[in-house]
Structure 1
Amino acid sequence: MSIKVVIADDQRMVRAGLRMVIETEPDIVVVGEAGDGAEAVMVARRVRPDVVLMDIAMPRQDGLSATGTLLGSPNPPRVIVLTTFDSDENLYRALRAGASGFLLKVSSPEHLITAIRVVAAGEALLDPAITTRVIAAFAGQPGPLPPPEVGGLTPREAEVLRLVARGLSNAEIAAALTVGEATVKTHVARVLMKLNLRDRVQAVIFAYESGLVRAGGRSLE
């Protein structure tokens, strides 16, 4: 079954370029386009895509606001935010709006296609550079006490969450803990379920905002 994608960007040439890249892949199909955030919400609700490629700077309703609107509806699509601006403000707004991926428009076509497939599969595109900047944002801030939900994690699940927050992949976590990658995947799934988190992006934000992990390599035991 093909991955259905909606492209939301106020520049027609950008939409055309993205469509050309996507339509070279046999398993991905563009089912709609939008020129602003409000139209993106309308189109997505009509065609029910798996993934929305969402520009940030658009008229009427910006992409981050549109992302929040879409993700607040039943059975929402996954959203990959696209931008020409590599700014922390946009990054944090995108992550907190619920985006599952954040890509610069200068990313390679291969990276874009990979992002669509990863996000459509229910994972999050968590680039190590993004993790580094999330960590830096919390550097020097006093950490709050971890919320009660953390107490529901087993010691191994809490350890896996800390490693996810450091930006490690499942394979890297498996190597660090000397367990199988399938075991790590199970632990991650249980962490997300117990903490009512959608994906790894939310897990990273939760770990730092809750104080479970501190910038500079310190963890709360």
Structure 2
Amino acid sequence: MIRHGLVLVLGEYGEVEVVGHADDQGEDMAELLESRHPAVVLRYCKASERTEEILKEGIAGMITNGTPRILLMTANAEQLDVGLAVRRGVDGYVTEDDGPHRIVEAIVTLSRNQAWLSPQFATSFLSHYREGTVDRAGPAPQALLLSSRERMVLRLVALGLSNSELANELSVAESTVKTHISRILRKLDLRDRTQLARFAHESNVV
């Protein structure tokens, strides 16, 4: 019921084209990904589902391939272990209370290779982080600003790879690597690669 409601609501927004929907992460999802090539997958998470269930094989495979971007929608921010989801490579998080306009904004943001964290998730995550109930071995809150691709670039920069080596590793043009690095520096308010490497090590991104 909720899935069909989302399809109807999102279809009313010109910024988003709904290319299909599936009942599960199995064959239906695999066939849809193969035939429609969506830029973003919105995965609705039932209230009874836990983070490990949500991040099972279907989602994990999409993250490994680097496309499409994954947007998780939950009943409430407390339902999801954001630290674990971030480490697994999920790029966006919204709740049912965010409403259609914000969900559309999140989808558009992810389609532009950027990350999205709804205010409810940000508040919940930071609260748990300060209280020490978030796994400190996970990435620091600032890392939530980065997409999975940007986190990958950050890890490789921290390992000492040059721009040309990064381009070869990621199978992209060197100019694309420079764009990624510039965007990461801007998001994290850092000046250079040395600061990026330090941030990556101190924030458990590497």
For normalisation by structure 1, the TM-score amounts to 0.54
Between the aligned partners of 1:108 and 1:68, the Cα distance in structure 2 is: 27
Are 1:188 and 2:176 an aligned pair? no
Residue in structure 1 matching 2:25, options 29, 32, 37: 37
Between the aligned partners of 1:55 and 1:101, the Cα distance in structure 2 is: 12
Are 2:15 and 2:108, in contact at CA under 8 Å, matched by a contact in 1? no
Task: Give the 5 Å matches for 1:132-151.
Answer: 132-139=123-130, 150=158
In structure 2, the partner of 1:86 is 77
Between the aligned partners of 1:80 and 1:205, the Cα distance in structure 2 is: 24
Q: If each structure's helix is expressed as a fraction of its own residues, which one has the higher value? A: 2
Are 2:73 and 2:93, in contact at CA under 8 Å, matched by a contact in 1? yes
Residue in structure 2 matching 1:71, options 63, 72, 78: 63
Q: Could you say what secondary structure the match of 1:28 adopts?
A: coil
Q: If each structure's strand is expressed as a fraction of its own residues, which one has the higher value? A: 1
CA displacement at 1:104 relative to structure 2: 1.1
Between the aligned partners of 2:156 and 2:38, the Cα distance in structure 1 is: 36
Q: Could you say what secondary structure the match of 2:55 adopts?
A: helix
State the Cα RMSD in Å: 4.2
Structure 1 residues 92 and 142: alpha-carbon distance in aligned structure 2, compared to 1, 3 A threshold: closer
CA displacement at 1:187 relative to structure 2: 2.4
Are 1:55 and 2:44 an aligned pair? yes
Are 1:119 and 2:110 an aligned pair? yes
CA displacement at 1:151 relative to structure 2: 8.8
Residue in structure 1 matching 2:9, options 16, 21, 27: 21
Structure 2 unmatched ranges of 5 or more = 139-154, 161-181
Are 1:102 and 1:125, in contact at CA under 8 Å, matched by a contact in 2? yes
Are 1:56 and 1:62, in contact at CA under 8 Å, matched by a contact in 2? no
Percent identity reads 21
> How many residues are paired up?
156
CA displacement at 1:149 relative to structure 2: 5.4
